[in-house]
Chain A
Amino acid sequence: MTVTASFVVRGACEQTERSLARDYIFVASLVKRSAANDFPLAEVVRCLEYPGVVAFNATLSYANGGIPEGETLLAYPSRTEGVGASVLLPEALCPIQGVENLALVYPFFSGECTVREGTGLTPRGYAGEVAEVVIPWYLAERHGIRVGDTVNRRYYSDVVGDDGYWYIPTVVVGIYETSAPDPETEDYPAYMPLAVTELDFGELQYDERVFNMSEHHKAVRADFVLEGREAFASFVAFAKERGVNFQNVNMVFNNSTYDVLASEIGNIRMIATIVWISVIVVGLGILIFFTVYLYHARDKERLLLGSLGMKRGAVRGTIALELIVLFVVFAVMGLGVGELAAEALCRTVDDTVLARASASDAVRDVTSASEFDITMPLEKNMRLRILGRDDGTEEPSLAWNRIVRLAEDELGVSRHRLFVYQTISELRKYAPPYVPTAEETMEIFTRERTAVDVIGVTDLSAFILHETSGVQNEQAIRLYVSEDFCYRDEGSLFLCRFNAGDTFFNDVSYTRFMPSMPCRSYRVVIAGTYEKNEFCSGNEVLVSMEDYHKLYSLISLTDPDYHFHRIGEVVSASH
């Protein structure tokens, strides 16, 4: 019984150690050292290159972003009418936070906040395909907002001008609430996908000089889910090596609770192992003693059976069989009773030692989303069980964004449709001192534009390219076109995201609400041609994934009507 009990406890501890290592969310966090110093998003990107990062969350700092109160929430002009309405500018805003992973934002992680209506941010939102927002309960209740409604996110841009407020429609996909007894509402922002807020930020930083958006974006916090406890040390070393500035940021870990639990479980396992081995050794001695004793205690019986003509071997076999049956019966009984005892023991340990060891209760009691600027207690809010059953622990149900990495033989491909707004040849026609007439300008605005599908790939060397351009500007976006491409010999193109007649509400200022701003375009260099391949031909242009993301940072496409595959499909390179 003791053997079984200690064995089961030992096995349960091993299983629990595995479950703990599997279910515990090992988080390393970058947090700013002082309230004033947000750190560049680029540092997050550098940390993401560490191969042991399985998921991450970054909270983007953008003080001017918000969702306005009052009529501005829903008073956006109808697209069909295209007529602007007056907009009030109340002072109070619901702040917006861009997050890579809502489930890993502390209030949601700890259970302090839960989505009560609708969903969290969706994969399409995280991918930057659609602009969606999860708003706090107080905003919904104050203005009668429901899931599916459209609200406007408002940004201020000093690039646009003194009155440069920007309003961009956003679909509410979820409303969350808090379990905090007396919540301070300003601690609870609206959450949007980081990909969308990145684009917003890129839009406001509209400047062709700005290509590396992550250097200009600031983050207030980033959490990295690592593969295991042992990855912490090497992760710090990696971050240092990659130039993360530890003068401005701290790296904190959530290993304390894990270490306490693992140590407790390890101790219990060691005790169980010692008991198991000891009892086996002692038990074997007892078993041998009783076997010999029982055998000799039956000398008379053996004599009798022998005198009755039973063969000596048969007598010994009968007695041995009886001993085996006895052993098996008692072993089975011992197993059963031992398992019951082990369960009782495990339950006791579970309810006492581990319950005390776990900091979950303390974590659960935290009610403010802002209490963890410095510390990082992102333990999974779990209650451990060390019973030796499969139902003891479960896979976490968090829908975090796992990092997708390409295999060596895979080629990342993203596609997006843009339009040729202008060519170098056309531009030369209006070169100074010539000033285009109003008719010519209108013709440019209203002309049907040539669509090009931009394809970003992770490895341009997978394609046969013929360089033609002598342009050496390192910051230029370089396209490769097909032999059939009509602007093949232009050298440069100006690309924009709208065709003539498209309405682009993103580009309106609050005073006008009208599609009056000229469509911004971006100059790209035609670096050469590619030979036909299975991924692109005709009007499809090929760019490196780096250039693809430059385009991505320069054009805001978070209108719900647009789709932008941020990550892109991953295909096997067939070259």
Chain B
Amino acid sequence: MKILDLNGISYDYTTKAGKVHALKEATASFETGVVYAIVGRSGSGKSTLMSLMAGLDVPRDGDVRYRGESLLSMDRDRYRREHVGMIFQSYYLLPQLTAVENVELSLELANYRGNKRARAEEMLTLVGIRREQFRKRSTQFSGGEQQRIAVARAIAADPELILADEPTGNLDNENSMNIVEILTELAHRYGKCVIIITHAAEVAERADRVLRMDDGYLRAE
């Protein structure tokens, strides 16, 4: 089922060197239950595309639609709170919080009505964090574990769309595969739409579909 549509979106920004056309009329559709990989070299516009899909920014031209509704007409903060889970290369865990508190934070912001602590622990268990580690500060975890906590945080509010920006960029191969496995399972077993932005070929290989960013253009492979 289609969940996200990019309808000819373009995006520019200006640097000292001049105007940069980061995205040029990109068009694509994303469905639930599918893992997408968007690949491309550095500076090709991948992260810009992700910002636009997450509603962190708006395109110059074109339209991003979630379930047929334009993000321009939506409360994009609410869109992110309730429908999007984001994962970053550098995890972005709050160092002063424990693992379970990091996950609870997203539930708090999403106004989750259930038992937040139980939900957070459930998510941590789902991504392979042991119970005795729940109350350790995030800085006490390895990189792979921190990214798993970040995944747990992203999926805690049960979003349909998961956007992962280089989720394995800081991880070794084994941990990378673990993360990709989790993300794949989220799509295939839990019906999420997972969009992974990566430049790692082995990650792209595990995706169901691959799109390539090249000089601002988005093309399906």
Taking Cβ atoms with an 8 Å cutoff, the residues of A that contact B are 300-301, 303-312
Contact = CB atoms under 8 A, between A and B. Distances in A.
Contacts of B88: 303-304, 307
Nearest to A305: B109
Contacts of A310: 77, 81, 109
B54 interface: yes
B128 to A, nearest CB: 22
Contact of B90 (A300, A308, A311): A300
B109 A307 contact: no
Interface in B46-93: 54, 56, 77-82, 84, 86, 88, 90, 92
Q: Does more than half of chain A's interface fall in helix, strand or loop, or is it mixed? A: helix
A305 B56 CA distance: 11
A311 B77 CA distance: 6
A300 B92 contact: yes
B105 interface: yes
A308 B94 contact: no
Nearest to A311: B77
Most buried by A among B56, B77, B78, B90: B77
- Sorted nearest first, the 3 A-B pairs with minimum C-beta distance are A309-B81, A309-B80, A304-B92
Nearest to B78: A309
A303 B106 CA distance: 13
Nearest to B108: A308
B110 interface: yes
Nearest to A301: B94
Report which residue of A306, A309, A311 has the largest number of chain B beta carbons within 10 angstroms of its beta carbon.
Answer: A309
B110 A309 contact: yes
B105 A308 contact: yes
B81 A308 contact: yes
B94 A304 contact: yes
A308 B109 contact: yes
B102 to A, nearest CB: 10
A462 B175 CA distance: 111
Contact of B92 (A303, A309, A311, A312): A303
B105 to A, nearest CB: 7
A338 B152 CA distance: 48
5 contacts: A300-B92, A304-B88, A306-B56, A307-B54, A308-B81
Contacts, number: 41
Interface of B: 54, 56, 77-82, 84, 86, 88, 90, 92, 94, 105-106, 109-110, 153
A294 to B, nearest CB: 14
A312 B80 CA distance: 12
A306 B56 CA distance: 8
Which one of A300, A303, A304, A305 has the greatest number of beta carbons of chain B within 10 Å?
A304
A508 B141 CA distance: 114
Given A303-B88, A308-B80, A309-B80, 10 more contacts: A301-B92, A303-B92, A304-B94, A307-B92, A308-B110, A309-B77, A309-B109, A310-B77, A310-B81, A310-B109
A309 B56 contact: no
A301 B84 CA distance: 18
Nearest to A314: B77
Nearest to A306: B56
A323 to B, nearest CB: 16
A317 B13 CA distance: 27
B94 A307 contact: no
Contacts of B92: 300-301, 303-304, 307
Contacts of B105: 308
B56 A308 contact: no
A306 B81 CA distance: 9
A307 to B, nearest CB: 4
B109 to A, nearest CB: 5
Nearest to A309: B81
A220 B110 CA distance: 95
A136 to B, nearest CB: 80
Contacts of B78: 309
Contacts of B82: 309
A297 to B, nearest CB: 12
Contacts of B90: 300
Contacts of A309: 77-82, 84, 109-110
Contacts of B54: 307
B53 to A, nearest CB: 12
Contacts of A307: 54, 56, 80, 84, 86, 88, 92
A300 B93 CA distance: 9
A306 B84 CA distance: 12
Contacts of A306: 56, 80
Contacts of A303: 88, 92
A290 B109 CA distance: 28
Contacts of A304: 88, 92, 94
Contacts of B79: 309
A305 B92 CA distance: 9
Contacts of A300: 90, 92
B167 to A, nearest CB: 13
B217 to A, nearest CB: 26
A309 B106 CA distance: 9
A7 B153 CA distance: 50
A575 B44 CA distance: 104
A300 B90 CA distance: 9
A311 B86 CA distance: 16
A396 to B, nearest CB: 60
Nearest to A307: B86
A305 B88 CA distance: 12
A304 B86 CA distance: 9
Contacts of B109: 305, 308-310
A565 B60 CA distance: 102
Contacts of B81: 308-310
Contacts of A308: 80-81, 86, 105-106, 109-110, 153
Contacts of B56: 306-307
Contacts of B80: 306-309
Nearest to B111: A309
A258 to B, nearest CB: 59
Contacts of A312: 77
A317 to B, nearest CB: 14
B138 to A, nearest CB: 12
Contacts of B153: 308
B196 to A, nearest CB: 16
Contacts of A311: 77
A446 B12 CA distance: 130
A106 to B, nearest CB: 71
Nearest to A310: B109
A476 to B, nearest CB: 101
B37 to A, nearest CB: 20
B76 to A, nearest CB: 9
A308 B82 CA distance: 9
A311 B75 CA distance: 10
Nearest to B105: A308
A247 B94 CA distance: 90
Contacts of B86: 307-308
A308 B125 CA distance: 21
